[in-house]
């Protein structure tokens, strides 16, 4: 009788063991699969390898700025206090209450493009006693004066701002200068007092003032994905600033750059704007889809989600990745504990029965 009992016990236990191992394997597989998925999606989000670049001279601005500012002879037009010298287009000098801009005369019909901005912000002011910053534009409107870094408010299109002065008091986690991105649809106002936070798509800090080396900003728009990067450390390396899909920008808008000073000032210089056309392979289906929902008003998909995500401000992609990873590990740990406890409880119950 005892022998039978122990053999039964042995078998049920080994069955449990097998079950336990099987479960562990499933978890491992699940975990590996999730990890793989993440990895693959990270790799494929960067589709450099299938793109070709062509510099488009008509949308670029570089030394010696031939004919810039003179009537009719250039692709670029100056406005306000902007001035051309041999080394730069100075949007504003380091003086109070100035604003200036340079605008392309030709609407851009390129679907996918990349803008490389070589700029310089410098002046006498000590930290946070300088302002206000410069902006790069791709908008429906051009040659308008206004409060948004020297451009009109309620603009229609894309603005990337290098904001050098913190207007809002409560900047605990945000260090200025700060690069911020906004898409306007003609009715959205830029909140100057809050440094554009209510309407921002995202951004990054960028210590760009009074540097000896060159500073660059990079804006790429491919398949409705908007990427902003900066190169400000003199290392010739692009650092991520913003990367979001589902940004809808119409064709035929104008590129421009503008800057403004107030009580505080800086020299805001554009050394070059280089626009590259990107040739991206599209399937027939993709092209048809894009034709069908042609964009007429700029917008951003899932703006509510984006705002929610931003309320967790300060969390980088990596931080989120690790948070997800650790919560997943935590769940797995709990499940494993649960299984162990259950199997022990089961065993005890079995023992009680015999
Ligand atoms: C512009 O965006 C705002 C906020 O997302 C929205 O309420 C408004 O309807 C939009 N306007 C147009 C013309 O699409
Ligand atoms: C911008 O739009 C807001 C409301 O959307 C409006 O109150 C404001 O007057 C507009 N500003 C300009 C300069 O048109
Ligand atoms: Ca500001």
One digit per residue, the tens of pLDDT, for the chain of length 354 reads 444 444 444 444 555 555 556 666 666 666 666 665 655 555 455 444 567 899 999 999 999 998 887 766 689 999 999 999 999 999 999 999 999 999 999 999 999 999 999 999 999 998 779 989 999 999 999 999 999 999 999 999 999 999 999 999 776 678 999 999 999 999 999 999 999 999 999 999 999 999 999 999 999 999 999 999 999 999 999 999 999 999 999 999 999 999 999 999 999 999 999 999 999 988 898 888 888 888 999 999 988 777 776 665 555 566 667 778 888 999 899 999 999 988 888 888 776 665
The number of the ligand nearest the C-alpha atom of 156 reads: 1
| Ligand 2 center–CA 138 separation, angstroms | 20
Domain 49-313 is in which class? mainly beta
The number of the ligand nearest the C-alpha atom of 141 reads: 2
The whole-number pLDDT of residue 29 equals: 64
Residues 242 and 226: beta-carbon distance below 8 Å = yes
**Ligand 1 binding pocket includes 185 (Cβ within 6 Å):** yes
Q: How many CB atoms lie within 10 A of CB 216?
A: 18
The whole-number pLDDT of residue 307 equals: 74
| Ligand 2 center–CA 130 separation, angstroms | 27
The whole-number pLDDT of residue 304 equals: 79
Which atom of ligand 2 lies nearest, measured to the CA of 187?
5
The whole-number pLDDT of residue 126 equals: 87
| Ligand 3 center–CA 319 separation, angstroms | 27
| Ligand 3 center–CA 165 separation, angstroms | 4
| Pocket-testing residue among 189, 192, 198, 199, ligand 2, by greatest number of atoms within 8 A of Cβ | 189
Residues 257 and 102: beta-carbon distance below 8 Å = yes
| Ligand 1 center–CA 68 separation, angstroms | 36
Distance CA 234, CA 228 (A): 17
| Pocket-testing residue among 148, 152, 154, ligand 2, by greatest number of atoms within 8 A of Cβ | 154
The whole-number pLDDT of residue 322 equals: 77
The whole-number pLDDT of residue 9 equals: 45
**Ligand 2 binding pocket includes 185 (Cβ within 6 Å):** no
Using CB atoms within 10 Å of the CB of residue 41, give its burial: 0 to 12 exposed, 13 to 18 middle, 19+ buried: exposed
């Amino acid at each position: 009788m005892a022998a039978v009992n122990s053999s039964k016990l042995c078998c049920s236990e080994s069955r449990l063991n097998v079950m336990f191992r099987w479960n562990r394997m499933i978890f491992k597989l699940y975990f590996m699969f999730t990890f793989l998925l993440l990895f693959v999606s990270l790799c494929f989000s960067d589709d450099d390898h299938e793109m070709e670049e062509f510099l488009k001279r008509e949308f670029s601005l570089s030394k010696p700025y031939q004919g810039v500012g003179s009537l009719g002879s250039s692709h670029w037009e100056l406005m306000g206090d902007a001035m051309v010298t041999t080394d730069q287009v100075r949007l504003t000098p380091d003086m109070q209450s100035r604003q200036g801009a340079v605008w392309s005369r030709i609407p851009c019909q390129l679907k996918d493009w990349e803008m490389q901005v070589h700029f310089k912000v410098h002046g006498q002011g000590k930290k946070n006693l300088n302002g206000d910053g410069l902006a790069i534009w791709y908008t429906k409107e051009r040659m308008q004066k206004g409060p948004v870094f020297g451009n009109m408010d309620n603009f229609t299109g894309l603005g990337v701002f290098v904001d050098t002065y913190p207007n809002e008091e409560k900047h605990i986690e945000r260090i200025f200068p700060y690069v911020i991105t906004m898409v306007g649809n003609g009715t959205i106002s830029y909140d100057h007092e809050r440094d554009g936070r209510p309407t921002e798509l995202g951004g990054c800090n960028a210590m760009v003032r009074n540097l000896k080396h060159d500073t660059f900003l990079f804006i790429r728009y491919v398949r409705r994905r908007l990427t902003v990067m900066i190169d400000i450390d003199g290392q010739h390396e692009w650092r991520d600033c913003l990367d979001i899909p589902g940004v809808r920008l119409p064709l035929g808008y104008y590129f421009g750059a503008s800057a403004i000073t107030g009580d505080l000032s800086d020299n805001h210089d554009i050394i070059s704007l280089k626009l590259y056309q990107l040739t991206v392979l599209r399937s027939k289906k993709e092209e048809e889809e894009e034709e069908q929902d042609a964009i007429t008003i700029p917008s951003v998909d899932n703006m509510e989600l984006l705002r929610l995500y931003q309320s967790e401000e300060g969390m980088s992609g990596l931080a989120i990745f690790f948070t997800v990873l650790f919560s997943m590990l935590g769940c797995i740990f709990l499940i494993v504990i649960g299984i162990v406890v259950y199997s022990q409880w089961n065993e005890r119950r079995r023992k009680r029965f015999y």
